Structure 1
Amino acid sequence: MITQVRIDGFKSFLGFQVDVPPVMVMLGLNGAGKSNFFDALRLVAGTAQQGFERTVAADRRLAARDLFHRGGPDGRPLREEFTIEVGMLVRTEDGPLPLRIRLRARYEAGVGRRPGRAVLAARGSAVWISSLRNRDWMDRLGLDAELREAIEGARNAFVRRTGADYLIVGGRLGFANVDESERAASSTGTIELLGLVAQECASWQPLLLDPDSMRGLVPVGPDAPLEHDGRNLPLVLDRIEGQDPTAWRRLVADLAGLVEGVRDVRPRFLESRQEFDYEVEFEHSGWTAPPLLSDGTVRMLALLAAAADPLRRGTLCVEEIENGMHPTRVADLVRRLRRGCGVDGERAGAPYRQLIASTHSPALLAALRTDLSGSLIFMEQADRVDPDRQSVSRISLARPLRARDLEQEPGKTMTPQQVDRLLRRLGQGA
């Protein structure tokens, strides 16, 4: 479960920091930095699993020319280095372990006509167990005394048991890239630490669901979580129904609560084609094939499946969660997706549940306006003047919704009064 993200010099972020609760909804206009935030998580997750170079090469949104902060009238790069640091709580046999991972990359100019590239700076890139010297994030996230004690106990127990607390990493960071000889040369604690980070990061790939992809037939394939566009939805539904009847019944009940008239869902295996499909049953029209379902129904079904899937435990990241849905249904969907999020007392099992979503929806803002826990984050853009470089650039800011605090520096948070005024302007006021 992600607890904090710090970004400096990456895309639209300079000196950016946000504390991440078990449920975080980012609201902002286009261009405010919501997608860039997910890009930062994808870069960290990909690096932890398969290495920095492979991650950057495989993703067009992570092209080197676009990674570094830009500004000025010609949009030239203003930084030749960026840092992304993510704090997290990881479920271990010792308890909730406070881990941190930091990527520091620099720009390396190309030779001749060859384009430049981003290179991971090994000296600044690391995975480590938090020393817990700075516990301000615990205060801001509202962690109780029992959980704080469990976190400190897990840290001390892990370091005592494994002897591993800090690992410098290079371009080959990625548990999947560690070959047998490297594993043999590494300590058990080092391998365990890398494995914990890779497992935790595995779910950070954000879902940007495509209803058309989710309406097609899917051939028999290996068990896997929902793809980022949802294309393997029939396979996921079939697996949940067969492996976890309790989760399946809850999924169907949730869809019925969100979509009027829904009675049931059934995966189908087409023997003659060796492909999977699914249907949704409605009260008055019977079983309905995916091509006849609305975009909103298909998307809600996919998100409920992702949340219920035993193979996709951990952080559920969703871009533009409201797409294709009626505004009145989005808040109810979020309430259902947030069930079970947070740290529990179990020391064995899947990663802790978390929901991170982005939205433009005023209706969702209206529904969450009384939540002052920091779960609602306003993403905004501001002009930043750099007198040394004599340049102006646009940067992304995060302002959590909090109760008014006279000691808080103005502009750091959004207050309920500001939200009420915003909703009245948008016609969503009470």
Structure 2
Amino acid sequence: MLTRIEIDGFKSFLGFELDVPPFLALVGPNSSGKSNFLDALAFVRSAMLADDPELWPSEVKHWHFHVPDPAAMRRPASALDRRPLTEDAGNLAAVLGRMSRAGGLDDLLVDLAALVPDVTGVRPVFDERSEEWSFDLLIDHEPVPCRLASDGTLRVLALLAALYDRASSGLLMVEEIENGLHPSRLGALLQTIAQRAGVVGDSWRQVILTTHSPVAVSSLYQAAPDALVFLEPVSRAGGGRPRSRVSVAKPMRQAGEPGTFVSPRQGPYPSEHGGAGAMSRPRPLGLITDQYGSCRMTKGDARGVAAGGPAGPLLPAYAEWVDATSKALRSHGFL
């Protein structure tokens, strides 16, 4: 299991260091470095496996990138395919068939029904003539072939299969977890991920995901605040080097070096209007920063936060993001 990552000189990372928990959620606006972070891990995995796999830790072989392709998931899969879920989830039918025969589908189906209420079950189907697996979804207890299933339902099913399949244990990396999932179900999915992450018996599961969904941030703030790490692009110059944009990480903590953490605490904190002990009025979900650079999760009018105010200006990289995503929160009844 990864416990620490250091990246220096790769894409937007320079002298980057981050302690990694069993469940890590990277949050930030576009161009903050979320995809670059996963690209760095992909580069390391490729380099290790291409060099000499016997020289590197065996766990690198269990780093799984999850980029599901609904078209691939709808295709039958050979019964001879005993692999963990592939990157595009093209062998989903074979994984479900294997899990069904091993009696490992029950917990997955409970979570699937909670996330997609219309789905009451999954029925793997084995074709003896072609020796291939396919599967039906039970929609209100009526079988529907997987080729007719919606993209969103297939994405949720594939992610749950990756989480529950023992053969897929290891590190699972997911970009933009919110894709294809209704915001009202995202919180439940993140809770499932948090519960599945860690060491269980003789297997382990670590999850690293990226998101810029405010619903994901709100849900994780309640369910797994230690998993949240905010990425921010900043300008760096000096040392004879040209000015450049680099990514910095700010984990959620109660306290720390100013400018290095994100805290859920609400005032008192410095205010341009009231001094160091001033209290700011409550605001809806947003990210604000005081004159010392420390950033806090708050509740209040996100439009006011985006414009700055008594609590201090919003981090420039987040201003547009907070304003846009707060509208999404309101539209779904979260604010």
Using the size of structure 1 for normalisation, the TM-score is 0.60
Using the alignment, how far apart are the partners of 1:211 and 1:282 within structure 2?
Answer: 18
Matches within 5 A, 1:43-82: 43-51=43-51
Matches within 5 A, 1:20-419: 20-51=20-51, 173-175=52-54, 194=55, 197-198=57-58, 200-243=59-102, 245=103, 247-283=104-140, 286-343=142-199, 349-350=202-203, 352-370=204-222, 373-389=225-241, 391-403=242-254, 405=255, 408-416=256-264, 417=266, 418-419=296-297
Deviation at residue 261 of structure 1 after TM alignment: 2.2
Q: Structure 1 pair 423/19, CA: closer, same or farther in 2 (3 Å)?
A: farther
| Superimposed CA distance per residue, residues 344-383 of structure 1 (whole angstroms, 9 cap, x where no aligned partner) | 6x6xx33x22221111211111112246753101112111
State the secondary structure of the residue aligned to 2:65. Answer: coil
Contact 1:7 1:16 in 2 (8 A): yes
| Superimposed CA distance per residue, residues 377-426 of structure 1 (whole angstroms, 9 cap, x where no aligned partner) | 1112111124503x2211111111222x2xx2222111224322588341
Deviation at residue 307 of structure 1 after TM alignment: 0.9
CA RMSD of aligned residues (A): 2.2
Partner residue in 1 for 2:313: none
| Superimposed CA distance per residue, residues 271-290 of structure 1 (whole angstroms, 9 cap, x where no aligned partner) | 34443211110116x11122
Using the alignment, how far apart are the partners of 1:353 and 1:424 within structure 2?
Answer: 36
Using the alignment, how far apart are the partners of 1:233 and 1:412 within structure 2?
Answer: 41
Using the alignment, how far apart are the partners of 1:204 and 1:31 within structure 2?
Answer: 24
Partner residue in 1 for 2:10: 10
State the secondary structure of the residue aligned to 2:105. Answer: helix
| Superimposed CA distance per residue, residues 90-130 of structure 1 (whole angstroms, 9 cap, x where no aligned partner) | xxxxxxxxxxxxxxxxxxxxxxxxxxxxxxxxxxxxxxxxx
Using the alignment, how far apart are the partners of 1:218 and 1:41 within structure 2?
Answer: 28
Deviation at residue 15 of structure 1 after TM alignment: 0.8
Contact 1:321 1:359 in 2 (8 A): yes
Using the alignment, how far apart are the partners of 1:386 and 1:258 within structure 2?
Answer: 50
Q: List alignment gaps of at least 5 residues for structure 1.
A: 52-172, 176-193
| Superimposed CA distance per residue, residues 230-275 of structure 1 (whole angstroms, 9 cap, x where no aligned partner) | 11111111111112x1x31111111111111221101112334443
State the secondary structure of the residue aligned to 2:216. Answer: helix
Deviation at residue 27 of structure 1 after TM alignment: 1.2
Equivalent residue letter for 2:64 = Q
Contact 1:28 1:359 in 2 (8 A): yes
Using the alignment, how far apart are the partners of 1:239 and 1:356 within structure 2?
Answer: 26
Using the alignment, how far apart are the partners of 1:282 and 1:32 within structure 2?
Answer: 40
State the secondary structure of the residue aligned to 1:260. Answer: coil
Equivalent residue letter for 1:226 = L
Greater RCO (Cα-Cα under 8 Å, separation 6 or more): 1
Using the alignment, how far apart are the partners of 1:371 and 1:270 within structure 2?
Answer: 42
Partner residue in 2 for 1:59: none
Equivalent residue letter for 1:400 = P
Using the alignment, how far apart are the partners of 2:147 and 2:300 within structure 1?
Answer: 38
Using the alignment, how far apart are the partners of 1:382 and 1:263 within structure 2?
Answer: 47
State the secondary structure of the residue aligned to 1:365. Answer: helix
State the secondary structure of the residue aligned to 1:236. Answer: helix
State the secondary structure of the residue aligned to 2:70. Answer: coil
